[in-house]
Structure 1
Amino acid sequence: MYSLYAENENVKKENERLQHEHVSMNETLQARAKLIDQLKSDLDKLNDEYKKQNVLVQRLSELLASCPDLQLENERLKLENGQLRYNASLDYSMGIAEENVKLKLENKVLKVQNDALCGKLISDSDKKLA
């Protein structure tokens, strides 16, 4: 009788442990499902951006097709781009993400400076015309 009681207690403890493990696994699965959804969303955004850039590249390529010197430069840049993409895929690390953030900030600063210079040029042009 005692061994049945002890076995019953062991089974209850194992059941509780398994229930906790089940809850933990469900939480992990939910968190990973959210991460997958976020990654899918990010991928969709990147694909949209890629399509936009591809249209721009196609249009620029059409414009470059009429000039042999620009065609050679374009081919050189395509090769360089391929090499950079290959190297980036080999050397990818967290440092790239940090560098990306820095470059985005620098890009914003340069856009502001560019807008300010354009405004100054327009202002100077207006003054000369007046």
Structure 2
Amino acid sequence: MELLYEENENLKKENERLKRVHDSMNGTLQAQAKLIDQLKSDLDKLNDEYKKQNVLVQRLSELLVSALKACPDLQLENERLKLENSQLRRHANLDYNMVLAEENVKLKLENKVLRVQNDALVGKLISDSDKKHS
């Protein structure tokens, strides 16, 4: 009888623990359900916005295609300008590199001149210092 009483107490404790776990899980499930509902709502809003933007892009694309068809010269002009632009960029880049190279040579020469002047001034200072101490 005592063993049954002890087993009964253990089962009651286990039952209470399982009820608490169940209540906790229910709370978590409800919170997750609310979050899922919010996410579904957000997704619906984003889908609506996507559809509106898609309609706008399609309409603008149609207008662009019709404008290009109306002006085939515009397409050729656009290609010509792209080619000219790339050629100018390459040419400008070469000119810029040449300018940089020339400036680099000038700066190296100036650096050498300044080193010579600096060495001369240091030598003069040492010489003047030796004369004062002599």
Distance 2:25 2:18 in 1: 10
Instruction: Describe how 1:38-77 pairs up with structure 2 within 5 A.
Output: 38-66=38-66, 67=68, 69=75
The answer for the alignment partner of 1:2 in structure 2 is 2
Report the Cα distance in structure 1 between the residues aligned to 2:61 and 2:8, rounded to whole angstroms.
76
Q: Does 1:26 align with 2:26?
A: yes
Larger Rg belongs to:
2
Mapped to 2, the partners of 1:32 and 1:44 lie a distance apart of 18
CA displacement at 1:61 relative to structure 2: 0.6
For structure 1, the residue ranges without an aligned partner over 5 or more in a row are 73-130
- Give me the CA root mean square deviation: 1.5
The structure, 1 or 2, with the larger RCO (C-alpha pairs under 8 Å, 6+ apart) is 1
Give the partner amino acid of 2:53: Q
Aligned length: 70
Once the two structures are superposed, residues 22-76 of structure 1 have per-residue CA deviations (whole angstroms, 9 ceiling, x without a partner) of 101100100000000000000000011001001100110111113164xx9xxxx
- 1:11 equivalenced with 2:11 (yes/no): yes
Deviation at 1:2, TM superposition (A): 1.0
Equivalent in the alignment of 1:76: none
Q: Which residue of 2 aligns with 1:78?
A: none
- Counting aligned pairs with the same residue, the percent is 80
Partner SS for 2:27: helix
TM-score of the superposed pair, with normalisation by structure 2: 0.50
